[in-house]
Amino acid sequence: MIEDNDGLRRLLQETKTIAVVGLSPKPDRPSHEVAAYLQRAGYRIVPVNPACEEVLGERCYPSLREIPVPIDLVDVFRRPEDVMSVVEDAIAVGARALWLQLGVIAPQAAARAEDAGLKVVMDRCTKIDHRALLG
């Protein structure tokens, strides 16, 4: 589990492509605000939401397993009880890291991801940490 600023900074610097699971098309939703910020910061955003065709000008995918490009970081905006299936998909597609957003606390899913070799961040916001460490 990455909890120190140096580890968070390194992860954000190494990341190029972020799959945002649960990305809402509604601008007033936290997932949309965070993803838009990350996109402006230079990351490639890949929306994951089975109810959408496109978000933030990017093609939206129903699941991680359908994304045709390598994923560095899976940023999760889902309820804790939904995270384990996201972790299994992240492992299956070879993602390098899993980031569970503020309020998303899923210790068993985080442990599963770590056991599979993914770097894990839990209960933190990518936008807040990026702005504080790299902004």
Which domains does the chain possess? 5-134 (3.40.50.720)
- What's the token pair of residue 26? 């509604």
The Cβ-side half-sphere exposure at 41, using a 13 Å CA radius, reads: 24
At residue 39, the pLDDT reads 98
**pTM metric for this prediction:** 0.97
Task: Name the 3-class secondary structure at 92.
Answer: helix
Across the range 38-51, mean pLDDT stands at 97
Across the range 50-78, mean pLDDT stands at 97
Chain centroid to CA 46: how far? 9
